[in-house]
């Protein structure tokens, strides 16, 4: 069975990288103003960076989008798992949203709605090459419709 798996792109976490840069700049400025607290500022910076990296790793590794011939599945969670499956025949809408920064970085948010509901069942953020993923979903959707 031909399946493709997608995880959020690291480059999609540009806000996290920006936050780490701001923390570094703040620590560097505070060290110049209050040199007697230099060790504390760098320790706080280190804790902030560790938290940011752990948050990025969790957000990336807890989401998996699987595109198969007959269905699209979204698995969320690391310890506990939530799985949403939509048959390709039931797909009504595949929407790609990109901000300006996401367009520059070639990442985006993908939303999938089925014919059974009015809202999007699958929403994933910061996916790499979102238009290619959308096209892969459309190809699977068309090929499963031709088989029936």
The pLDDT, as a whole number, for residue 35 is 86
> What mean pLDDT comes out for the span 79-88?
92
The pLDDT tens digits for 35-63 are 888 888 889 999 999 999 999 999 999 99
**Quick one: fold of 3-9+63-147?**
PH-domain like (2.30.29)
- Domain locations in the chain as residue ranges: 3-9+63-147, 11-58
DSSP at 115:
T
Q: Position of tokens 């025949």? A: 89
The pLDDT, as a whole number, for residue 11 is 94
Which regions of the chain does DSSP assign to beta strands (E)? 3-6, 63-68, 71-76, 82-87, 91-97, 107-114, 122-128
Q: What percent of the chain has pLDDT over 90?
A: 66
Q: Residue 148 — pLDDT band, cuts 50, 70, 90?
A: low
What separation, in Å, do the N-terminal and C-terminal C-alpha atoms of the chain show? 17
Q: Position of tokens 């809408």? A: 93
């Amino acid at each position: 069975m031909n399946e493709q798996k997608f995880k959020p792109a690291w480059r999609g976490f540009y806000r996290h990288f920006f936050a780490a840069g701001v923390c570094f700049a703040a620590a560097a400025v505070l060290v110049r103003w209050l040199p007697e607290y230099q060790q504390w500022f760098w320790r706080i910076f280190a804790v902030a960076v560790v938290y940011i990296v752990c948050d990025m790793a969790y957000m990336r590794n807890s989401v998996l989008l699987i595109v198969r011939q007959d269905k699209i599945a979204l698995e969320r969670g690391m310890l506990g798992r939530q799985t949403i499956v939509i048959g390709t025949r039931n797909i009504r809408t595949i929407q790609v949203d990109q901000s300006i920064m996401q367009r520059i970085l070639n990442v985006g948010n993908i939303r999938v709605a089925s014919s059974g509901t009015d809202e999007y069942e699958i929403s994933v953020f910061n996916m790499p090459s979102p238009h290619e993923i959308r096209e892969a979903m459309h190809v699977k959707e068309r090929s499963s419709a031709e088989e029936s």
